[in-house]
Amino acid sequence: MKMDYKLKTLNISDLKADKNQPRKTFDDESLQHLAESILSNGLLNPIEVDENNIITDGERRWRAHKLARKKTITARIVKNKGTTEKLRRQLIFTLQDEEIPTEESYAAIVKLWDSDKKVHGLLPQASGGQEWCKNLGISSTTLSRAINYIGDKKENPRAV
């Protein structure tokens, strides 16, 4: 899933968080530590934004830049390939980065799975489902747990 991109320095104030980003929670203490690290070491990994300045990857780094009172940030500008591809990239970035709460990762996994299975007719334990999991960097067991958790939550939110 190689993407072509160009690096650019952007104004912090011009960027917008993606309301559909899988990560919904940000720990204040962790953000403060990241802001201090950025002030000491600079930004080691640019954020990623689409052509509308919506953050695809790096909302934590963007928030830490704001905390550090930085005015600009280095970003990779990527062409938006649609909602499903954007969610896939965000989920992969998030899973490879800092842990997010289980409920948030499960919700994003199931949302992407539901979208892809409609298009490709996938089943979790079939070879296509296993390949899908491998490409995302998760096990088929994680997919099954996510599907069960989200299904249980819909049926009985208080029990979950």
Tokens of residue 72, six digits: 């600009």
Check if 59 is active-site. Answer: yes
Strand 55-57 and strand 5-11: pairing? unpaired
Q: How far is CA 125 from CA 20, 92, 109, 119, 133, in A?
A: 28, 20, 15, 17, 10
**Distance between CA 114 and CA 141 in Å, rounded?**
16
Q: How many CA atoms lie within 13 Å of 5's alpha carbon, on the beta-carbon side?
A: 20
Among the options 29, 59, 98, 104, which is catalytic?
A: 59
70-103 per-residue burial string, b: 16 or more CB within 10 A, e: under 16: eeebbbbbbeeeeeebbbbbbbbbbbeeeebeee
User: Could you list the active site residues?
Assistant: 59
